[in-house]
Amino acid sequence: MNNIDGSHNQSLIRLSQAQLNLLELCPPQFQRVYLEQLGSPMSPERQEHLLWGNQFHQLMQQHFLGLSIDSILDIDQELKKIVQALLKVVKEQHNLNSDPWTEAEHYLALEKDNYLLTAIYDLLIINENKAQILDWKTYLKPQNKQKLEKNWQTKLYLYLLAETSDYLPEQISMTYWFVKIPHHPQYLRFEYNQELHDRNTVELESLLTNLDKYLLNYSQNNVDFPHRRNCESNCPYYQLFFPEKATFNHRENEKSNLLSIIDDIEEVSI
């Protein structure tokens, strides 16, 4: 993250969906990662997954820029099969044959108070009466749709498009496409509306107000970001901050929860 120093002047603080998710989930870990630059080593398996995800996103970007990807797909028949299947269902589901305006890797930003809220849409599809956000995920479709609905990627991406365009919230949707060899592509779609937009606005403003307080206390009084209530029972970073209190069951739950969080959140930058 750029320019997080607690001083509320000059440059704006950039916030992406990943940072909002971490701030909401565990403020002390947000402090550790983005203020103190203390990241955790990534496993070889996670590195391999991210590499494949990045390569897949680049392939889709090239395709929607009108560049041929045939030479790449011819090297890997499994990848070719899944990409062709995805492109076929995407064209059908989103009516791409009608030749709407599309842009891959569309960047959007909105200044809000001391912050610059940012998003990169894997694919943005614009018609006269609707706007569709598409996002590629290189893992299987999750069983819990509500969890993804509450994720800040969904909330922020819909919010930003509603705030920066002439489209009504009811004209905006976001669709996640889940791709994992050898499974057939699946999707989850979220329709937006004014009620959701109002709720997202309140939640976002509350989160930013808290961040203002945390940064001020951190910079002026050297006070760490506070833990959430009941973090012992539902925070995957609990063991990191309280290793002496962590039980075996908690450590096992942490591994499971953290992997889920990584899949849901980090692939965007995942």
Note the pTM of the prediction, 2 decimals. 0.86
pLDDT for the residue numbered 244: 65
Phi, psi of 124 (to 5 degrees): -115, 125
What percent of the chain clears pLDDT 90, i.e. is strictly above it?
71
Closest CA to 4 of 201, 218, 262, 266: 218
- Tally: H helices and E strands in the chain: 11, 6
Count Cα neighbours of 141 within 13 Å in the Cβ-side half-sphere. Answer: 12
Residue 260 has pLDDT above 80, yes or no: no
Task: Give the pLDDT band of residue 245 (cuts 50, 70, 90).
Answer: low
Closest CA to 17 of 144, 102, 109, 106: 109
Quick check: helix, strand or coil at residue 167? Answer: coil
Over range 230-236, report the average pLDDT.
Answer: 79
Closest CA to 161 of 235, 103, 232: 103
Over range 14-31, report the average pLDDT.
Answer: 96
| Axis-axis angle for helices 152-164, 194-221 (nearest 10) | 110
Domains of the chain: 13-226 (3.90.320.10)
